[in-house]
Amino acid sequence: MNDSSSRALLEKLIGFATVSRDSNLEMIAFIRDFLEQHGVESKLFYNDARTKANLFATIGPHDRGGIVLSGHTDVVPVDGQAWTVEPFRMSEHEGRLYGRGAADMKGFIASVLAAVPHFAGRDLRLPVHLAFSYDEEVGCLGVRPMLAELEKRPHKPLLCLIGEPTELKPVLGHKGKLAMRCHVKGAACHSAYAPYGVNAIQYAARLINRLEVIGEQLAHPQHHDERFDPPYSTVQTGVIRGGRALNIVPEECEFDFEVRALPGFDANEVAHHLQDYAEAELVPRMRAVKPDTGIRLQALSAYPGLATSPESEAARLLAQLCGSNEFGTVAFGTEGGLFDQAGIPAVVCGPGSMDQGHKPDEFVTVEQLNACDAMLKRLADHLAQ
């Protein structure tokens, strides 16, 4: 097996422990060197601390739009997971290649790198761009500066293919997400005098109830979009902290909630609605007891949904590449919504399954990796025509 097969490259990539909280620079340097060996120049976009970077590279003519192949270099942690194989050393068993990131999504990046000689060795009519990001797993944060530059280009890419694991099935959409934290500041006192304090937990409970009511409204059949599962936008409270002892009226309570929004629904509406409710109904009552109390909302992270039209040029090309026009959606988010927002239509299709992503003993099958190699060769043919 040669060093530039997708299998050998995946083994190399899994060896870089690029958990989102750590640096990805060793992996980026490896990719940059690999591309350089094939005569392809890379541009790096660093974070402020210069501990992480995005990599962008173009193969083919620079004065035309072309197609972006996009992947994130970071992986989720393995802490507390019961792995039976080494997470950061690839192993093979019964046609499966194991290691953190094998499915999500170093398998795709390995396949893209393995295709570089095919792209570089041909006279491409349209260019292919490689866009490898950091900090995707912590809210699609890293890709944004790279996108800001792409957006300004005179020749915008025609399409972005996000290689998140879909078992190479063509996917045109996913929901967007907004994650928020709500801080409730009450006023403490001895619990025997509870009415003289402002109970932060009880006010938080009212807000959480309100979110549930909003969620029920969003689930109304008139808002359904059957392409998604569940077919409506959802609201969920996932973390709550507050209180010190049963005999103290709690002064502080904070909780985190998220909105999973159908494409086209602005998740911020939920936050605005909650804010209005807090200001109209709750804060005046809190302040009537103690003036320096209140409720504050803070956005933690957000990414937009994606709903590329099945009638679009992007969808037609995707169908051609993966040999199927049975378009689906996925439950997880991708950077695709951000590309779409930047005016670059996005689709999702990559090797492996998200059933394995984020779990112990993550794997991608050799068969999927080979099929992805074949898909990228079809793309090279298409771009050379």
- Measured from the CB atom, the residue of 17 and 182 that comes closer to Zn ion is 17
The answer to whether 321 and 382 are in contact (CB under 8 A) is yes
**Residue 52: CB minimum distance to Zn ion, A:** 16
From 26-34, 157-165, 337-345, 362-370, span contacting Zn ion (CB under 5 A): 157-165
- CA–CA distance, 283 with 296 (Å, rounded to integer): 10
How far out from the chain centre does Cα 73 lie? 12
User: What is the secondary structure of 319-340 as a DSSP string?
Assistant: HHHHT----EEESS--THHHHH
From 17-25, 55-63, 103-111, 371-379, span contacting Zn ion (CB under 5 A): 103-111
- Measured from the CB atom, the residue of 102 and 295 that comes closer to Zn ion is 102
Residues in contact with 334: Cβ distance below 8 Å, sequence separation at least 6, in sequence order: 140, 162, 164, 174, 306, 346, 348
- Measured from the CB atom, the residue of 251 and 258 that comes closer to Zn ion is 258
* Residues 287-324: b if buried by 16+ CB within 10 A, e if exposed: eeebeebbbeeeeeebbbbbbbebeeebbebbbebbee
Whole-angstrom CA distances from 264 to 125, 219, 224 are 35, 15, 12
Residue from 53, 90, 103, 105 touching Zn ion (CB under 5 A): that is 105
* Residue 90 sits in the site that holds Zn ion (CB under 5 A): no
Q: Which residue is nearest to Zn ion (CB)?
A: 104
From 99-107, 210-218, 285-293, 359-367, span contacting Zn ion (CB under 5 A): 99-107
- Measured from the CB atom, the residue of 301 and 309 that comes closer to Zn ion is 301
Residues binding Zn ion: number (CB under 5 A) = 3
- Measured from the CB atom, the residue of 74 and 251 that comes closer to Zn ion is 74
The answer to whether 379 and 124 are in contact (CB under 8 A) is no
Active-site residues, by number, are 74, 136
**Residue 107: CB minimum distance to Zn ion, A:** 11
**Residue 142: CB minimum distance to Zn ion, A:** 12
The answer to whether 252 and 200 are in contact (CB under 8 A) is yes
- Measured from the CB atom, the residue of 199 and 365 that comes closer to Zn ion is 365
The answer to whether 342 and 313 are in contact (CB under 8 A) is no
* Residue 131 sits in the site that holds Zn ion (CB under 5 A): no
**Residue 163: CB minimum distance to Zn ion, A:** 9
From 104-112, 170-178, 197-205, 207-215, span contacting Zn ion (CB under 5 A): 104-112
**Residue 25: CB minimum distance to Zn ion, A:** 20
Residues 163-222 touching Zn ion, rule: CB under 5 A, are: 164
- Measured from the CB atom, the residue of 73 and 237 that comes closer to Zn ion is 73
- CA–CA distance, 348 with 70 (Å, rounded to integer): 9
The answer to whether 317 and 382 are in contact (CB under 8 A) is yes
**Residue 300: CB minimum distance to Zn ion, A:** 19
DSSP bridge partners of 226: none
- Measured from the CB atom, the residue of 104 and 373 that comes closer to Zn ion is 104
* Residue 335 sits in the site that holds Zn ion (CB under 5 A): no
Residues in contact with 339: Cβ distance below 8 Å, sequence separation at least 6, in sequence order: 68, 70, 147, 160, 162, 345, 346
- CA–CA distance, 297 with 275 (Å, rounded to integer): 7
From 52-60, 161-169, 233-241, 344-352, span contacting Zn ion (CB under 5 A): 161-169
**Residue 164: CB minimum distance to Zn ion, A:** 5
**Residue 79: CB minimum distance to Zn ion, A:** 18
The answer to whether 27 and 10 are in contact (CB under 8 A) is no
SS3 track for 34-83: HHHHCCCCEEEEECCCCCCEEEEEEECCCCCCCEEEEEECCECCCCCCCC
CB atoms within 10 A of CB 63: 7
From 13-21, 35-43, 58-66, 158-166, span contacting Zn ion (CB under 5 A): 158-166
Residue from 11, 74, 104, 135 touching Zn ion (CB under 5 A): that is 104
* Residue 140 sits in the site that holds Zn ion (CB under 5 A): no
- CA–CA distance, 258 with 248 (Å, rounded to integer): 30
Helix or strand or coil: residue 225? coil
Residue ranges that bind Zn ion, judged by CB under 5 A: 104-105, 164
